[in-house]
Structure 1
Amino acid sequence: MGILRIGHVALRVLDIDRAIHHYTKVLGLLQSYVDDNGSVYLKGWDEWDLYSLKLTESDRAGVEHIAYKVHHEADLETLAARVEAWGIAVSRHAAGDLEGCGRTISFALPSGHLMVLYAEKEFRGKSVGTIDPEPWPDGLQGAGVHWLDHVMLMCPVDLDAGVNTVADNVRFLKEALDFYLAEQVLAGPDHSVQAAAWLFRGNKPHDLAMAGGPVAGLHHIAFYLDSWHDLLRATDILGKHRVKMDVTPQRHGITRGQTTYFFDPSGNRNEMFASLGYYAQPDMPTITWHAEELWRGIFFHHGEPRPDFIEVYT
């Protein structure tokens, strides 16, 4: 019962043709579909649903919505009632209103981000099939990322005004939607301010991460690779394509993942994330980082401050 996993991210881009080139030729996603409005739907070769990324041309970059898949159709109304009990309005949408999906519900997180839940999405299948499959398909382009792994949101925080939507989101996601808190950053003189959080629904360190900023936005979307070796090769591919880099290959202390960050042509930050990190389970105790160790948590190798890493987002 409840939320199964991340389903897709709907992203706004400034130039659809440049975005398609970036996400297919450089990252290696596969184009599934183009709708009547010109939005483009993409998937990883190891994903089986129709899409995990929707690209829509707009005059500003950023995230339109994030979507999560639930186990059963009946879960939608159960979760809608729990969201409404929080005093948050829920919109209900007929099958087909969201491309390729059955009936959906949508609502705004306390941070203002739009979240969509669905139970059914059109099946497309893995590129290697399900009968005697090879470990990867022939003909992959670019980095050949496997799947959409997670998303990180920037959430309004103004402590002088008593606003901390990171903490509000965490409380809502745990209590209304049964997310689990894997890791958190606590700030302030008594470490009482929840400044960032990493939550999960499956068994990986995070499906959804959040940090505080002046306005709501998107910090990054992340795609999965197998190993450190794959990550290094993928970063070489970014270099060959003159992709704007943000962080060259590093290890995270938080989540223990291996990582590189870069920007799509519209300025949306991307990440390629390798290895599991660790095996997360509902009874796992939450890992806490104090703000004094934040940069070591983010960039474990050198731990040096990079304020722009938090300050720059769409």
Structure 2
Amino acid sequence: MENFKLTNAITIPKIGFGTYKAGNGNCEKAVIDAINSGYTYFDTAAFYKNESDIAKAIKNSNVKREDLIIASKVWREDLGYDETMKAFEKSLKELNTDYLDVYLIHWPKENPNDINWKQKNIETWKAMEELYKLGRIKVIGVSNYLPHHLINLMDTCEIKPMVNQIELHIGYLQKTALDFCVKNDILVQAWSPLGRGRVLNEESLKEMAEKYGKTVPQLCIRFLYQLGIMPIIKSSSICRMKENLDIFDFSIERDDMYYLMCLPQIGWSGEHPDRQRVYFD
């Protein structure tokens, strides 16, 4: 699998495996299946409560820990210097490892009304920078950050965020945030790259996927790849795990890319860092 190179010269795969509610509750099996299917990047978080399952999967797989890239996140209720340090140590214990390849701040605010979020972020990032300098984290970054959240960090930080993981998919491109990250050499990762499955029902995407001899998920993943975005994908089916990696043998034509970029909103999760969650049926 091809790799992205980050600003600190670390390379990571162009597709990662997401573990949130992975395997319909059997995360350990899902991760082992994903390893056997060719994935090396695994995305988790303290909030997912599956870090210990991932540790078991690695132990019971035929792959060495150092051959995998494990990413976790500090939860929004643990923002702050001391809280982040404690959360990091807890994640290490759960994952049965003495370092993390990637560590992200999960959300910029504890809640949309958090008036102290700017200072909490600065203190949290200071802890991240210290852990990075000690070699206990190889890559530091954020998740669900929009430009104004990133600017707050970048105005005071010593080390700029290397990664920003946000909801991104056909029908929800967040172009302002994407362009800001590209301009500042921050790799964008896409969570929910299939729009929680809602995108898959679009007839125009079915027709376009057929044109390229691919599935709609493969079209969606390839679309993000061509924009320089790293999709974080999950599946409980080994067949689909392998299928989702098979996107490097075709290219979406220019006009089709523009068409996909200009589709109206489809499949937004309702999650937003500055607003209360919007619920959909």
Higher strand share: 1
Same fold (TM over 0.5): no
Greater helix share, 1 or 2? 2
Give the TM-score of the pair, scaled to structure 2. Answer: 0.38
